[in-house]
Structure 1
Amino acid sequence: MTLTPQISVVIPVYNEGDAIVPCLERILRAVMMPAEVLVVHDMPEDTTVPFALEVQARDPRVRPVLNTYGRGPANAIRFGIDVARAPVAVVTMADGSDDPRQIEDLARLVDRGVVVAAASRYMPGGQQVGGPRFKRLLSRTAGRTLHMFARVGTRDATNSFKAYSTSFVRQVGIESKTGFEIGIELTAKATRLHLPVAEIPTIWLDRQLGESRFDIGRFMPSYLKWFRFAFGRRLTMEQLAKRPASSAARSDAQTARANLSENQTVQS
């Protein structure tokens, strides 16, 4: 009997090859709650897929899914959250930088009522080990500024390792389509709506295999957009829903879920 997942773990991937195997194995060992692990890839020929399928053969919680929104990490994360079957979606990276033992802790915060639960490198007990120094400085400065002055509820709004209420995401939509700015977008939207955001400390480790695909120059404008958005006046859900980009994002999500459900029905 297949249990309905309580957590959807969303992992955006791009040609990770066999490096995805230890990542998935760590997650599968750490998550004891009923879960699905969505390995979201942009193209059928992605080198991650055959290795993800090997793990799936041993553990059916793993689900490789093809992102139909367009290439790039933002579209992969957006697609993964949009097709998630659980009430909580946890985004984590394929590079081993995040601690999979904290997935359930983040999910439990959402289960208790917050709409965004952040793993924070910059609160007491948190730490960032490695990574480009300039990127660390920008991230820490942005996090502290948003926490102190916009009252966003976390000192690490830019970290991608977060849990979200999927019902909240489907109400507000995800507009980001460039890089990894979804974490700050949804945190900013929750802040403007006066919905609860919480954090727990995490120790982030720079990836040991492969190269980071974070392009600070290309992604910075999108980060700045949502950084500024967090400081606006309070919004109602109805006001936020009237944003054209938000409406389009919700429509994309409905279509993606319908198409995925239809494909699964045909395959079964």
Structure 2
Amino acid sequence: MRPRVTVVIPVYNEGADIVRCLDRILREVLLPAEVLIVHDMPEDTTVPYAREVALRDPRVRPVLNTYGPGPANAIRFGIDAARAPVAVVTMADGCDDPRQIDELARLVDRGVVVAAASRYMPGGQQVGGPRFKRMASRWAGRTLRLLARVGTRDATNSFKAYDTDFVREVGIESRTGFEIGIELTAKATRLRRPVAEIPTIWLDRQLGESRFDVGRFLPSYLRWYFFAFGRRLTPEQLAARWAARRPAPAGSAPAPAPGVATDIDAAR
């Protein structure tokens, strides 16, 4: 049966902690699903534990990211490898509520291209986390919704569902951290595509140690923050802009162009 939702989990040396994460997801996701554990290297400590889970539940598939190191490339690879029409990106750290994966996926089924789990709408909450990061993300979410009308109060949250056809149409330019969430929200806004949100309660990392580096990732977040305020674009204009900026970093594979078969098919 073709899955209705692909859950994309970028990992980096999560070790045995991935088992708790997967157990929660497999218990709570009721839609036909596949769960991609996207790792950058065969020797990643996550891999043997993910394979053990995969032996007892065929929904789980560890896949090797060949687009280059880092979470942005892992997420790009996972969405390209998705066999479902909806991809939900969630973290391996226990911060996100897996019960909401089905709800986010159903919003995309209904026609939105980005469905966000929002910490900052009524009913949402953020528990813990660095103070500066909390303040910056809340400020960005409020101003983007009020001034750029992006359709969500939490554009920076990584816990989102995407229409995979939309993502393959507009492309992903991010290559460093977790700014893909704000990039695709900004692109949907510029194309006037629908974005929706549901409230979520986000808990500070429950498993392992955080590797989020605010100083390193902030410039990329700011780039997409300001991009959201531009004039309306057509798909052709956005595609031309993406094509002009697509050169891959040395040593990494470029993203496949829409409609072109590549080695990514082996991961689907």
TM-score normalised by the chain length of structure 1: 0.94
Specify the alignment match of 2:171 in structure 1: 173
SS at match of 1:200: strand
Specify the alignment match of 1:228 in structure 2: 226
Provide the rounded CA distance (Å) in 2 between the counterparts of 1:263 and 1:169. Answer: 17
| Post-superposition CA distance 1:73-106 (Å, at most 9, x none) | 1110111011111000000000000000000000
- Tell me which amino acid in the other structure corresponds to 1:123: M
Of 202, 205, 213, which residue of structure 2 is paired with 1:204? 202
Q: Are positions 1:30 and 2:34 aligned together?
A: no
Provide the rounded CA distance (Å) in 2 between the counterparts of 1:261 and 1:242. Answer: 25
Specify the alignment match of 1:218 in structure 2: 216
Provide the rounded CA distance (Å) in 2 between the counterparts of 1:263 and 1:190. Answer: 27
Provide the rounded CA distance (Å) in 2 between the counterparts of 1:248 and 1:60. Answer: 36
Q: Which residues of structure 2 form unaligned runs of 5+?
A: 249-253
Provide the rounded CA distance (Å) in 2 between the counterparts of 1:37 and 1:246. Answer: 30
Q: Which residues of structure 1 form unaligned runs of 5+?
A: none
Q: What is the number of residues matched between the two proteins?
A: 262
Of 90, 96, 101, which residue of structure 1 is paired with 2:99? 101
SS at match of 2:262: helix
Of 99, 112, 115, which residue of structure 2 is paired with 1:114? 112
- In structure 2, the CA distance between the partners of 1:258 and 1:12, relative to structure 1 (3 Å rule), is same
Alignment RMSD = 1.8
SS at match of 2:16: helix
Query: Could you tell me whether the CA contact under 8 Å between 1:79 and 1:253 is conserved in 2?
Result: no
Specify the alignment match of 1:252 in structure 2: 255
| Post-superposition CA distance 1:100-145 (Å, at most 9, x none) | 0000000000000000000000000000000001110000000000
- In structure 2, the CA distance between the partners of 1:263 and 1:213, relative to structure 1 (3 Å rule), is closer
- Tell me which amino acid in the other structure corresponds to 1:252: A
Specify the alignment match of 2:251 in structure 1: none
SS at match of 1:177: coil
Specify the alignment match of 1:72 in structure 2: 70
Greater helix content: 1
Alignment of 1:55-70 (within 5 A): 55-70=53-68
Deviation above 6 Å: which 4+ runs of structure 1?
Answer: none
Fraction of identical pairs, as percent: 77
Shift in Å at residue 258 of structure 1? 2.6
Provide the rounded CA distance (Å) in 1 between the counterparts of 2:219 and 2:199. Answer: 27
TM-score normalised by the chain length of structure 2: 0.94
Shift in Å at residue 33 of structure 1? 1.0
Provide the rounded CA distance (Å) in 2 between the counterparts of 1:73 and 1:88. Answer: 19
